[in-house]
Amino acid sequence: MRVGIVGGSIAGCAAAALLHRAGHDVIVFERSGSDLVSRGAGIGMPTAVWQDMMVHGLIEETLPACRTDYIRYVTRGSGTGGQRWLGDVRMSLALFNWAHLYQGLRRGVPGELYRSAAAGERIEARPDGTTPHLRPGGSLDFDLVVCADGYRSMGRRLIDPDATPRYRGMVVWRGLLPESELRVDPLDGCDGVRPMYQGGHGLMYYVPGSGQSTEPGQRLLTWGYYLQVPESTLASVLVDDQERQQSSSVPFGKVHPQVRAGFESRLAGLLPRCCSSWCSRAATARSMPCTPLCPAAMPAIAFAWSATPVRCSPRSRAAAS
């Protein structure tokens, strides 16, 4: 079977590797002409999924990953600004450096099957197959087309033309910071912390460093904070450091200084001090895109609420308060 895959990131590479190994004729179309390694920060997955990917040969056992068995929920203490413990939620996760995971999956796709700078324009469904039309011209016929091209997928438009993504009133500000540059551990010994605050929430965890080390002091802290931004003012935060308007996200290292300062100021009044004291330091050390959320992005942050609570001893609860 001839299979075309639109989108050459994590999902596209995983699908291509499995289908190619099963004997299908596969071609991946990736719209970006540059390497995708710098596109992400950290990414976590349930340990069972990680193990299943290794069993199926999608990733190697040597792929570095940090681990956590629970996520600690905290908030800002009333009047003190200190950290107040809300609870620990049990979940077994493998935490990856996005670049390492992407590279591992990309190695499973032979170079001749991966076409960069191949942006899809539309997908034509025919009785005997499917045809992706590419920019600036050209098309190929396939028996099956897999759409792994994100929340603005051409496939979604084909299946349900009226399914238009809607802005959910929030942006996410995220980035990476070398652990070696932190004076204190903002996670306070935990492997993952989710700060909760009025109108939003955040997430912080460690991933392997650029040298693929998972040793304390050599990891990267990945963090993301969800903040409410009215649609009427969304355009004002989707501006890069050269005053250029962006449509859906601001690239790494290009967040406008005034936007960054505004986010820092808001977070300083929302987060516990230990979660915000390093924020301006991180902003100068690493880059942070801000991205509007659409309905497709929301389920990814909801799974934690169905996890199992962990009972904390009085000693551990006091340490978290």
Domain count, the chain: 2
Query: Mean of the per-residue pLDDT values for the chain?
Result: 83
The answer to whether the beta carbons of residues 246 and 134 sit under 8 Å apart is no
Predicted local distance difference test score (pLDDT) of residue 68: 95
| Average pLDDT score over residue span 291-314 | 35
Instruction: Single out the residue in 111, 140, 159 at which a domain terminates.
Output: 159
Considering only residues 299 and 246, tell me which one the structure prediction assigns the higher pLDDT: 246
> Does one domain contain both 144 and 189?
no
Domain that holds residue 193: 66-97+166-320
> Does one domain contain both 9 and 134?
yes
> Does one domain contain both 91 and 105?
no
Instruction: Give catalytic residues, as residue numbers.
Output: 206
My answer on whether omega of the bond before 132 falls inside 30° of 0, hence cis, is: no
pLDDT digits (tens, 9 = 90+) for 199-208: 899 999 999 9
Instruction: Single out the residue in 139, 159, 179 at which a domain terminates.
Output: 159
pLDDT digits (tens, 9 = 90+) for 109-133: 999 999 999 988 889 988 899 999 9
Predicted local distance difference test score (pLDDT) of residue 252: 74
> Does one domain contain both 30 and 179?
no
* 260 vs 266: CA distance, rounded Å: 10
pLDDT digits (tens, 9 = 90+) for 240-253: 889 999 887 887 77
> Does one domain contain both 215 and 289?
yes
* 207 vs 191: CA distance, rounded Å: 10
> Does one domain contain both 230 and 142?
no
> Does one domain contain both 207 and 174?
yes
> Does one domain contain both 139 and 252?
no
Question: In the 3-class helix/strand/coil scheme, how is 143-203 assigned residue by residue?
Answer: CEEEECCCCCCHHHHHHCCCCCCCCCCEEEEEEEEEHHHCCCCCCCCCCEEEEEECCEEEE
Predicted local distance difference test score (pLDDT) of residue 201: 93
> Does one domain contain both 282 and 180?
yes
Contacting residues for 235 by C-beta, under 8 A, at least 6 apart? 245
Instruction: Single out the residue in 159, 179, 201 at which a domain terminates.
Output: 159
> Does one domain contain both 181 and 257?
yes
Residue 288 has pLDDT above 90, yes or no: no
Domain holding 306: CATH number?
3.30.9.60
Predicted local distance difference test score (pLDDT) of residue 302: 29
Considering only residues 37 and 95, tell me which one the structure prediction assigns the higher pLDDT: 95
Domain holding 134: CATH number?
3.50.50.60
> Does one domain contain both 233 and 111?
no
Predicted local distance difference test score (pLDDT) of residue 279: 62
Residue 299 has pLDDT above 50, yes or no: no
Predicted local distance difference test score (pLDDT) of residue 278: 66
> Does one domain contain both 223 and 246?
yes
Predicted local distance difference test score (pLDDT) of residue 92: 96
